Structure 1
Amino acid sequence: MQLKTKLTISAFTALLVVSCNKKEIQFEDPLITNRDTTVSPTEDFFHYANGGWFKKHPIPDSESSNGIFRMIGDTINAQIKDICEKSAKNEDAPKGSNEQKIGDFYASGMDTLAIEKMGLKPLAMQFAKIQAVQDVPSLMNTIGYLHTIGAGPAFSFYVSQDDKISSKHALFFSQGGLGLGNRDYYFNTDEQTVKIRTEYAKHLEVMMQLMGEDAAAAKSASATIMKMETDLAKISRKLEALRDPVKNYNKMPLAQFKASTPAIAWENVLPQLGVAKADTVIVGQPEFFKGLDKIVTTYSIDDWKTYLKWDLVNSYAPYLNNAIEKQNFAFYSTVMNGVKKQKPRWKRIVEETDGALGELVGQVYVADYLPKGSKEKLLEIGNNIRDVYAEHIKKLDWMSEATKKKALNKLSKIVMKVGYPDKWKDMSSVVINRGTYCANVMAANKWSYDYMVKKFGKPVDRTEWSMFPQTYNAYYNPSNNEIVVPACNILVPGFEGRMPDDAILYGIIGGSTFGHEITHGFDDQGSQYDENGNLKNWWTAEDLAKFKQKTKLIVEQFNKFEPLKGKFVNGDATQGENIADLGGVVMGFEAFKKSPQYKNKEKISGLTPEQRYFLAYGYAWMVHAKDEALARQIMTDVHSPAQFRVNGPLMNIPEFYKAFNIKPGNKMYQPDNLRVVIW
C-alpha cells in the first residue's frame, strides 16, 4: 500500500503525519531535530545540521565515533544477531549448510570457556612452522605460508586485475608488514604520535609475556620488533604517494624482480603463496623490496622468528584467550582510537561472523530483511544521477569537445551494481564447527585467500561483488569501471517503514552515494582509467593540465582545515575523496531539481527544497569522533573527517550560499576565485 504524506508545521516541532486506513502516525523530522540552532549555518554548517543530535548522543565508551553509520550499523547488527542466534539454536542443521556454518561460527565465538581453555593452542601448528625456520629460504617460504592464513608479515601480496589490462588478473607485491599500519607512526615527532610509539613498545612487551616469554626476553623482543618495523617503515612510501596509480604500477618479469632482490628466491616463495607458476609480477614500490632484501639478511633468523610470532598473534589476537584479546583492545582501540570499553561480546561476534561469512549471511538478509523494491529504487536514483552527470559534462567550459566525447563514453559505460549480486560466491568448501573459534576464523581467512589467488590465470568475472548487501558502504572499481551500492544504503534513520522525501533521497543516496561513487571515475585517480578500466590516458594535454589545476585548488582548500589543534587535513592524500564529495553533492542536487518536490517549491517542516537537500547531505555525514580517532584518521585515512566532507564541498556551491544566505565575512564563505568547480 502506498502511503501519502501531508505536512503540519509548528513553531516548536516539525512532525510528518502519515495517514493509512484513517490512522495517523506522527514522525519527527530528523532534519529538524538533528539541528543545533545555537550554531549559525553561515559559520559551521556541519554542526548546525547535526549538533543537536551530537548533544543528545555522546560517543559511547565502546565506540570511537557515533552518528548515522553507527545508527544504521546497529540496525543491521540487530538483524544479523537474529540470523546468528536462530542458526546457532538449530544444532540439527544439515552439515555444510549455510545455517550450520553461521550458527557454529557464532556459537564458537560466544563460547568463552572453550576459548579460554584453548589459549594459544589454535596457533600451535603455525608456531611450529616458524620455529622450524633455519635460513633465509625457509624464512621467506614461511612468510609466504603465513600470508595464506590471514597474517601479513614483511610485505603485502594479492591477486587483482592488471591496471593496464583489466581483462586479466595479475600478481601484486606492495609494501607492508607494519604493526602500526602507517609509516608515519614510526617517525612523526608530535606529542601524540610519540606517545603512541612509546605505548606500542610497551604493548609489544606485554604481548610477548602473554605469549610465554619472561620479562627480560619480552623486553628484548619488543626492542627487536620495534627496530625491524622501523626499518620497514623507512623504505615505505607515504600515504599520499601510494595514490599515484602510474608510479605504483611497475610491471616486470619475475626474473627482473628476483635480480633486484638477490637474497629472496621468489620462484620458491610463490608456490607457498598458492601460485604454482608465474612469469610476471607488478611491484608497487620497487625500492621497498630492494630494502627488504637487505633487511632479510641484516637481522638474525631468531630476530625474524620473534617478528613472525608477533605478527601471527597480532593477526589473531581478537579470537584468542581473554588476556590477549584485552591487551590487543587496550592498545589498538584505547590508545590509538580513544575507545575505553569493549562492545558487548555478542556484538563483536556478530560483526566477526558477518565479516567472515557475510556472503552466507547476506543471502538470509536479502530474503528476510531487505525492504521490497530497494534494488529498483536505488537503480532509479543512480540512473538519474548519471543522466545529470552527462548534462554537466556537455556544458563544461574548460574541457574540449574531444575529451568530452571520451568522458561521456566512459560515463555511459559505468556499470551500476545495486542491491545484491545475481549470484553468490560458493563457500561450500569452508569447514566450520563449534570446536574452536580461532580455527573457524582461520578457515574463513584461508577460504578468502584461496578464492582470491585462484583467480590468477582465469578470466575476470566482472559480475563479482566485493561487498556484502548488508554492508553500509559503496565503492567504485576503476578496473571494471563500475560502482557497487549494497542494498542497505536504502536505509535512512528516522524513516523506517516509509519512503523519505526526494530531498533526503537525493541528498543521502543520490549525492553522498551514487554521485560520490560515479565521481570517483573522474577524480585524480579514476580519471586515469579509460572506459574499459585500463590505466590509459584519454585526455588531451591541455585538458589534463586544466584538470590538474582544479585538483590542485581542492588540495590547497582542504590543507587549510584543522580538525584538531596543530593537525591539518592532508589535502594530497584525501583529494580523490574530496573531489568525489564535491561531485556527488553537485550531481545529487542537479538530479533533485528534476523532482516534483523541487519543481513545486514544496516546503516540508518549514524548510525549502534547497534547505532540505543540503541538510540531508549534512545528515549523510553525521559523525562525531573522539580526538584519538580523528588524529588516526588524519594520518592514515584517504577520507577527510566528516565535518569537512560537509563544509568543504558546500563552500564551493552557489545554490548552498543562496539557500542559507551565506555572505562575505561568514566562515562558510569562499571567494569566487577560490571556489572549486570541476564536474
Structure 2
Amino acid sequence: MKLKHVTLLVAGTTLALTSCKNNETSELIQPDPLAMNRDTTLSPGEDFFHYANGGWFKKHPIPETESSNGIFRTIGDTINAQIKTICIKSAEDKDSAKGSNKQKIGDFYASGMDSLAIEKAGINPLKAEISRIDAVKDASSLTETIAHMHTIGTSPAFNFYLGQDDKNSTKYALFFSQGGLGLGDRDYYFNTDEQTTNIRKEYVKHVQAMLQLIGQDNTSAAKNAATIMKMETELATASRKLEALRDPIKNYNKMSVAQFKALAPNLNVDKMLATMKVAKADSVIVGQPEFYKGLNQLAKKYTIEDWKVYLKWNLIDSYAPYLNKAIDLQNFKFYSTVMNGVTKQKPRWKRVVGRTDASLGELIGQVYVDEYLPKGTKEKLLEIGNNIRDVYADHIKKLDWMSPATKQKALTKLSKIVMKVGYPDKWKDMSSVSIDRKSYCTNVMNTNKWEYDYMIAKYGKSVDRTEWGMYPQTYNAYYNPSNNEICVPACNIIVPGFEGRMPDDAVLYGIIGGSTFGHEITHGFDDQGSQYDEKGNLNNWWTDEDMSKFKAKTKLIVDQFNKYEVLKGKFVNGDATQGENIADLGGVLMGYEAFKKTAQFKSNQKIAGLTPNERFFLAYGYAWMVNVKEEALSQQIMTDVHAPAQFRINGPLSNIPEFYTTFKIKEGDKMYRPESMRVMIW
C-alpha cells in the first residue's frame, strides 16, 4: 500500500475520557511518567533523547525476546493481552456458529496453539504448492506458477498490488515494482562492511538449511542456495536504492499491457495477468522499468530447475513461522538473531496472537471497539486533529517563503484532508474466508488468499474512499496521498502511565497532537505528499519559484540527518528518511502551536515540578522512547524510511527556538545548532 505512515507510540490499559481528575490529586495517586522516565544525570543539551528516556531505559533492559524495548513494546504487551483474551474466549466457546466471527477467531488461535498437530503435519500444508512447483516444465508454466504464488501471500521475482492510480485517484490501477529479495533491500547484496558481509554469508547458510529441512540432501541444498543467492544478487543489481524509490514521478511509469509485454517478453504477461485474475487489464503502472528488463533476462538465463528451487525457497520462507519447530526455529535464527540480535523467541501465545490479529484483525477490531475502547475516543481525537489543522492553516498563511497563489492551494489541500479516526463506520465482509482447527498454516494461507481476492475484486470498480487501511487496535497512523486523508486508529488515544485519568494537554498535544496528527498532516506537504493535489492526484500545484524554495529547505533537513552517526561508520540516510523527518519537524511544531492555545499553557502551572513547556517537549520525547539493539539499528538505517528514534527526537527539536529557551540549550551543547542552520519548513 502506498501509505506514508509513522509507527506510533501511545498506549496503556484503560482511560475514562468522560471524566478528568484534578492534576494535583492525580500526582498523589500515580507517579508522573515524564518526570520518572528522565535521566537527570544527563544534560538535555547533550542528548535530549537519553535525558528524557534514559531513566526508563536503565530500569528496563531489552529482553532476550525483543530487538528493542520502550513504549512500542509496552503498548504491544497491553494490546496483545487484550487480543489474547478475545482469542481465548472465542476458542473456548464451543457453541459459536460455523462461519461466525467468534468461530473464526477461536479456531485460528487454537490451530496456532496446537503445536503437536503442527509438528505432526510438518510441511504437509504446503505439499500442494510444492507439487505445483515440481510440475513446472516450461516458461509458460513457470510464469503461471510465479503469478499463482502472488495470490497466496508470497511475492517471488517481483512485487505486485492494486491501488489508486497516482494521477487519477478515482480509478484503481495495477502496480508492478521491484522485489523478490530474501534480504529485503538491495544494499544487503553489495555493501562491504563487516556486518553486512557476514549477513550475506549467513543468509546462504540459512537458505541451505531451509532447503535441507524440506527434503534436499546436503550437496543439492548447498548448490541450490548458492544459485538462489546469485539470482537474488542479479535482481538486486536491477533494483533501485531505497532513496530512489521516494520520487513518485520517476516511479510512475504507466503503460499499456502491450508495452509491458514488449518490455519483458519472456514473462508471458498475458498468462501472468490471467493467473493473477486481471486478464481484462488494459494498462499497468511499472515502478522501475529497468528492473523488469533485468528480470526478463533472468527468466531465460536461469534454467527451469533453478527457478523451481527459487520458488520453493520463496514459499518456505513465506510460511516458515507457521510450520514445524525445526523450520520455525531456523527462520527465527536468521531473521531475528542474525539480522536483529534477538536471541530468544517470544512465547508461542504472543506469536500466535500477533498472527491472528494480522490475519483476522478486521474481526478482532469489532470486539475491541465494543469491549476495550474508552467512550468519547472519536470525539477527543477529532478535537485534537481539528485544532492541529487550525494552527497549520495559520502557519501556512504566515509563511515568508511561499507566494499567495501557492499558499491558497496549500490551504485548499489542507482543508480537504479527510480525518479517519477511531474505527470505521463499516467493516469488511470476511464471511467467505474458511477457518478451522485442522491446520495453522492452511488458515494463514486462506486469509492470505482472501486478502488477495478482496484486493483484486476492486479492479474496475469505483474507489471506495471510506475504506480503512488499519485496524482500531493498531498502534500506528498513516497519510494516504491518493485520498488526501489521515487515519488515526482508536488505540492512539491511550497514554501509558495515565491509566484511569486524563493526561494533561501537554502530553496529549506532545504525543497525539505532534507525533500523530501533526506528523500525518505534514506528510501531505513533505517531499512526496507535496506533489499530490487536494483530490489525491499527482499534479504540480506549485509555482516554479516556490518549489525551488521548498526543495532548498528540504535539502537542509537531508543535510542535517546525513550527519547523524547511528553506529560507528553508519549514518542516517537523509535522502531516504527526509519525508519522515519533514513530518516529524512539522508535527512537533504544530503540536506545540496548538498546545499554546490551551489553558494549561496559558496558566504556566507546573505539574510534577515541570513547566508546561518542559512537559510538552518531554511528552514528545516519550512518544519515541525506544531503545534498539545494534543489529536492528543497522538493519533500520538500510531498509527503513524512518530515522532511529533518537534522531526523531533530537533532530526536529534542535530546530525549534522554544526548545532552546525551555532547556537553556547553549552554544557548545551537542543539541545546539546555529540559527542559520536551523530548519523551518512549515
Of 2, 8, 16, 2:27 maps to 16
How far residue 483 of structure 1 moved from its aligned partner, in angstroms, is 0.1
Of 18, 21, 24, 1:4 maps to 21
Letter of the 1:155 partner, please give it: F
Q: Which whole-Å CA distance do the structure 2 matches of 1:265 and 1:45 have between them?
A: 56
Which consecutive aligned stretches of 4+ in structure 1 deviate over 6 angstroms post-superposition? none
Q: Which whole-Å CA distance do the structure 2 matches of 1:245 and 1:668 have between them?
A: 33
Q: Which whole-Å CA distance do the structure 2 matches of 1:391 and 1:610 have between them?
A: 21
**Residues 517-572 of structure 1, C-alpha deviation per residue, up to 9 Å, x if partnerless?**
00000000000000000001000000000000000000000000011111000000
Aligned to 2:102: 99
**Residues 592-633 of structure 1, C-alpha deviation per residue, up to 9 Å, x if partnerless?**
000000011111111111110000000000001000000000
Letter of the 1:5 partner, please give it: N
Q: Which whole-Å CA distance do the structure 2 matches of 1:300 and 1:628 have between them?
A: 36
Superposed, which structure 2 residues align to 1:104-183 within 5 Å?
104-183=107-186
Aligned to 1:632: 635
How far residue 433 of structure 1 moved from its aligned partner, in angstroms, is 0.2
Letter of the 1:271 partner, please give it: A
Q: Is the 8 A contact 2:21 2:501 kept in 1?
A: no
Letter of the 1:16 partner, please give it: E
Aligned to 1:220: 223
Q: Which whole-Å CA distance do the structure 2 matches of 1:110 and 1:594 have between them?
A: 51
How far residue 7 of structure 1 moved from its aligned partner, in angstroms, is 2.4
Q: Which whole-Å CA distance do the structure 1 matches of 2:247 and 2:19 have between them?
A: 49
Aligned to 1:590: 593
Local SS of the residue matching 1:281 = strand
Local SS of the residue matching 2:495 = coil
Aligned to 2:360: 357
How far residue 5 of structure 1 moved from its aligned partner, in angstroms, is 1.3
Aligned to 1:21: none
Q: Is the 8 A contact 2:270 2:279 kept in 1?
A: no
Letter of the 2:27 partner, please give it: L
Letter of the 2:478 partner, please give it: Y
Superposed, which structure 2 residues align to 1:274-293 within 5 Å?
274-293=277-296
Aligned to 2:505: 502
Letter of the 1:348 partner, please give it: R
Superposed, which structure 2 residues align to 1:102-501 within 5 Å?
102-501=105-504
Letter of the 1:385 partner, please give it: I
RMSD: 0.7
Aligned to 1:39: 42
Q: Which whole-Å CA distance do the structure 2 matches of 1:132 and 1:478 have between them?
A: 43
How far residue 4 of structure 1 moved from its aligned partner, in angstroms, is 2.7
Q: Is the 8 A contact 2:477 2:488 kept in 1?
A: yes
How far residue 274 of structure 1 moved from its aligned partner, in angstroms, is 1.5
Q: Is the 8 A contact 2:19 2:501 kept in 1?
A: no
Aligned to 1:79: 82
Q: Which whole-Å CA distance do the structure 2 matches of 1:334 and 1:58 have between them?
A: 17
Q: Which whole-Å CA distance do the structure 1 matches of 2:235 and 2:621 have between them?
A: 40
Higher relative contact order (CA 8 A, sep 6+): 2
How far residue 236 of structure 1 moved from its aligned partner, in angstroms, is 0.4
How far residue 73 of structure 1 moved from its aligned partner, in angstroms, is 1.0
Could you tell me which runs of 5 or more consecutive residues in structure 2 were left unpaired when the two chains were aligned: 1-17
Aligned to 1:611: 614
Q: Which whole-Å CA distance do the structure 1 matches of 2:633 and 2:591 have between them?
A: 27
Letter of the 2:449 partner, please give it: K
Q: Is the 8 A contact 2:562 2:572 kept in 1?
A: yes
**Residues 193-235 of structure 1, C-alpha deviation per residue, up to 9 Å, x if partnerless?**
0010010011011111101011101100110111010010000
Aligned to 1:601: 604
How far residue 329 of structure 1 moved from its aligned partner, in angstroms, is 0.2
Q: Which whole-Å CA distance do the structure 1 matches of 2:91 and 2:267 have between them?
A: 46
Letter of the 1:346 partner, please give it: W
How far residue 3 of structure 1 moved from its aligned partner, in angstroms, is 3.5
Q: Which whole-Å CA distance do the structure 2 matches of 1:325 and 1:295 have between them?
A: 30
Aligned to 2:663: 660
Q: Which whole-Å CA distance do the structure 1 matches of 2:402 and 2:654 have between them?
A: 23
Local SS of the residue matching 2:604 = coil
Q: Which whole-Å CA distance do the structure 2 matches of 1:177 and 1:321 have between them?
A: 24
Q: Is the 8 A contact 2:213 2:327 kept in 1?
A: yes
Letter of the 1:359 partner, please give it: E
How far residue 2 of structure 1 moved from its aligned partner, in angstroms, is 2.8
Q: Is the 8 A contact 2:581 2:652 kept in 1?
A: yes
Q: Which whole-Å CA distance do the structure 2 matches of 1:554 and 1:249 have between them?
A: 25
How far residue 498 of structure 1 moved from its aligned partner, in angstroms, is 1.3
Closer, same or farther in 2 for the Cα pair 1:2/1:491, shift >3 Å? closer
Q: Which whole-Å CA distance do the structure 1 matches of 2:631 and 2:23 have between them?
A: 44
Q: Which whole-Å CA distance do the structure 1 matches of 2:392 and 2:678 have between them?
A: 20
Of 576, 588, 595, 1:573 maps to 576
Letter of the 2:287 partner, please give it: G
How far residue 57 of structure 1 moved from its aligned partner, in angstroms, is 0.4
How far residue 263 of structure 1 moved from its aligned partner, in angstroms, is 1.3
Letter of the 2:152 partner, please give it: I
Aligned to 1:22: none
Q: Is the 8 A contact 1:512 1:584 kept in 2?
A: yes
Aligned to 1:671: 674
Local SS of the residue matching 2:174 = strand
**Residues 380-410 of structure 1, C-alpha deviation per residue, up to 9 Å, x if partnerless?**
0000000000000000000000000000000
Q: Is the 8 A contact 1:72 1:491 kept in 2?
A: no
How far residue 491 of structure 1 moved from its aligned partner, in angstroms, is 1.2
How far residue 260 of structure 1 moved from its aligned partner, in angstroms, is 1.2
- Higher mean C-alpha deviation, range 458-467 or range 266-275: 266-275
Q: Which whole-Å CA distance do the structure 1 matches of 2:206 and 2:421 have between them?
A: 43
How far residue 265 of structure 1 moved from its aligned partner, in angstroms, is 1.5
Q: Which whole-Å CA distance do the structure 2 matches of 1:584 and 1:653 have between them?
A: 12
Aligned to 2:6: none
Q: Is the 8 A contact 2:243 2:576 kept in 1?
A: yes
Local SS of the residue matching 2:50 = helix
Letter of the 1:402 partner, please give it: A
Q: Which whole-Å CA distance do the structure 1 matches of 2:171 and 2:523 have between them?
A: 22
| 1:66 and 2:69 matched | yes
Fraction of identical pairs, as percent? 73
Letter of the 2:162 partner, please give it: V
Letter of the 2:612 partner, please give it: P
Q: Which whole-Å CA distance do the structure 2 matches of 1:433 and 1:376 have between them?
A: 38
Q: Is the 8 A contact 1:108 1:437 kept in 2?
A: yes
How far residue 276 of structure 1 moved from its aligned partner, in angstroms, is 2.7
How far residue 161 of structure 1 moved from its aligned partner, in angstroms, is 0.1
How far residue 190 of structure 1 moved from its aligned partner, in angstroms, is 0.3
**Residues 94-116 of structure 1, C-alpha deviation per residue, up to 9 Å, x if partnerless?**
00000000000000000000000
**Residues 429-456 of structure 1, C-alpha deviation per residue, up to 9 Å, x if partnerless?**
0010000000000000000011111111
Q: Is the 8 A contact 1:183 1:236 kept in 2?
A: yes
Local SS of the residue matching 1:573 = coil
How far residue 489 of structure 1 moved from its aligned partner, in angstroms, is 0.2
Q: Which whole-Å CA distance do the structure 1 matches of 2:404 and 2:74 have between them?
A: 45
